[in-house]
Each structure stands twice: as C-alpha cells, then as structure tokens.
C-alpha cells in the first residue's frame, strides 16, 4: 500500500506497475521517471507551478557536488536519533530529492527500514528526484493539500519550502517530529555582497507554532569555495535572488570564476503535541 491517498476521495492508493489506483476507481499514471501527479487542477495556480526547468537543473547540478553536505549530515543525524526501526517520513517540498535520498540512504545504513515519500509542486524538479532514489515515493502535490492520511507520519522534513502548518499538524502523529530548515542571518553573505550594493542579513527568529513544542534549534555553519562560474551561476539560479537582483549585480557575479562563501542554516526541530 502506498503512503499516498487519493486527492479526490481521500481513499488509500495502491501502487501498481504503472499506475496508482484507489478503491473508488480513481487512477494516477506513474511517469517513466517514477513519480506520479496528485495535484488536482483546482489546486494549480499556473500551467506549470513551482521551479521551472532551469531552476530544477541548477539545483540538481549544485547540490550533487556536495556543497551543502554539512546540512545533509546534520539532518541525517537528527532524524536517525529521533526515529524508530521503521519510521514513516515525508519530505514536503522535496525539490530534486537530494536531501530526501540522503536521509533515506542514511536510515537504511543505520539498519532501519524507512517508508518515505517526497512531494513538490514542480513536475520538472520531481523528475530528478524520482530518478535519484527508487526506494522513495514521489508525487506532484501542494504542501497545503498533502495527499496523506491524518496522523500517518512519524517525521516531516521541510527544507526552505512553504510552511503549511495546518497540514503538517494534520499528517503528523502525536509525538511526531517536524524539522524546519531555514537560512541563518549570514547565509550566502559573500554572494549577496556581490549582487547588492547594500545587502542585509536574513531575519532569524524563534517562533512557537500552535500544536508543536520546540525541541531544539541546531546550527549548521560552514564555508564553501566555488571554483567555476558554472557552479557560481547554479547557486545563484537556485536562490530567490535570481529573480530580484539588479542587472548590475548579476553582471558582477557573472565575471567571477571563484567565490568563497559562508553557508549558514538553522534546523528548527519541533514535536507534535
């Protein structure tokens, strides 16, 4: 039985060779890459929501080189420490699946038998995710209408994706763990200094959320060195700055073939009450 539920009637989905099917007869094809499409037309706000092909390729290329490995290692350690022998896990807004696959493989290496799913609103990016890890179920879906049963998850991971708290509360079981990854104040500071005349730090705050209790805020701070213009551009293209940087800043960045840069994340860890 799949971790996913039918987005039309909410019934359990059974995964067959090329299709997901519910008892009511609703069916959802599985793309050749391995993901399915569980985003009803009335939940789409554009013809192709989420990251486009260029952003998806940039994320795949940049993350695959391991620049954010310190964050992945932290997530793996925290999730392993907080999971039982057979955890049920969702990566909501999973992107191209680099963190998803890394966590899944780390759990397997730790002797656990995870059941894991990833959702994202971009079909372009899920093509990479589904190719990367065949042991995880992937579906195009909105974080605000997750195709998951109430209380079905032990752990929910959210890296830089929309904070759909009402849905996250619904799908997590009582006592379940929610990991929310956000950029710290000086994340990518050197990149921002090239792009903007007057860069400002990201806001950092500790926000209590209804239905959740804080367990920890785990810092991840490191420096990376990008040694090619292609890597610098891939990092730029996968950030929000790509869409709102003045032309002069983008031109300055395009002239660089090396960039020493801080990466800084905060992993906010909550327990569902």
C-alpha dist (Å) from residue 16 to 1, 10, 118? 10, 18, 18
Dihedral pair phi/psi, residue 98, rounded to 5° = -65, -45
Q: Could you report the per-residue pLDDT of 218-254, keeping only the tens digit for each?
A: 999 999 999 999 999 999 999 989 988 999 999 999 9
Contact 133, 65 (CB under 8 A): no
Q: What is the pLDDT of residue 43?
A: 60
Class of the CATH-defined domain 14-272: alpha beta
Q: Where do the structural domains in the chain lie, given as residue ranges?
A: 14-272
The CA distance from 46 to 142, in Å, is 13
Q: Could you report the per-residue pLDDT of 3-39, keeping only the tens digit for each?
A: 999 999 999 999 999 999 999 999 999 999 999 999 9
pTM given for the model: 0.94
Residue 47: pLDDT band (50, 70, 90) is very low
Residue 50: pLDDT band (50, 70, 90) is low
C-alpha dist (Å) from residue 235 to 40, 81, 83, 208, 226? 32, 30, 32, 31, 9
How many Cβ atoms sit within 10 Å of the Cβ of residue 86? 11
């Amino acid at each position: 039985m799949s971790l996913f539920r039918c987005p039309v009637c909410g019934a359990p989905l059974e995964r067959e060779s090329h299709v997901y099917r519910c008892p009511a007869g609703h069916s959802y094809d599985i793309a050749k890459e391995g993901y399915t499409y569980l985003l009803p037309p009335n939940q789409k706000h554009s013809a192709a929501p989420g990251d486009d092909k260029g952003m998806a390729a940039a994320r795949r290329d940049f993350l695959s080189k391991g620049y954010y490995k310190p964050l992945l290692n932290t997530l793996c350690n925290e999730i392993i420490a907080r999971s039982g022998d057979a955890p049920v896990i969702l990566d909501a807004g999973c992107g191209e699946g680099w963190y998803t696959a890394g966590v899944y493989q780390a759990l397997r290496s730790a002797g656990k038998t995870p059941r894991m799913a990833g959702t994202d609103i971009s079909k372009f990016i899920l093509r990479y995710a589904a190719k990367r890890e065949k042991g995880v179920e992937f579906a195009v879906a909105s974080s605000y209408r997750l195709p998951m049963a109430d209380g079905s998850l032990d752990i929910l991971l959210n890296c830089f994706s929309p904070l759909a708290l009402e849905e996250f509360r619904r799908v997590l079981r009582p006592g379940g763990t929610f990991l929310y990854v956000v950029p710290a104040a000086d994340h990518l500071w050197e990149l921002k200094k090239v792009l903007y005349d007057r860069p400002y730090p990201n806001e950092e705050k500790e926000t209590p959320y209804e239905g959740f209790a804080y367990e920890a805020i785990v810092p991840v701070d490191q420096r990376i060195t990008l040694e090619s213009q292609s890597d610098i551009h891939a990092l730029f293209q996968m950030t929000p700055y790509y869409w709102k940087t003045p032309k002069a800043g983008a031109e300055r960045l395009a002239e660089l073939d090396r960039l020493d840069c801080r990466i800084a994340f905060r992993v906010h860890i909550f327990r569902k009450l």
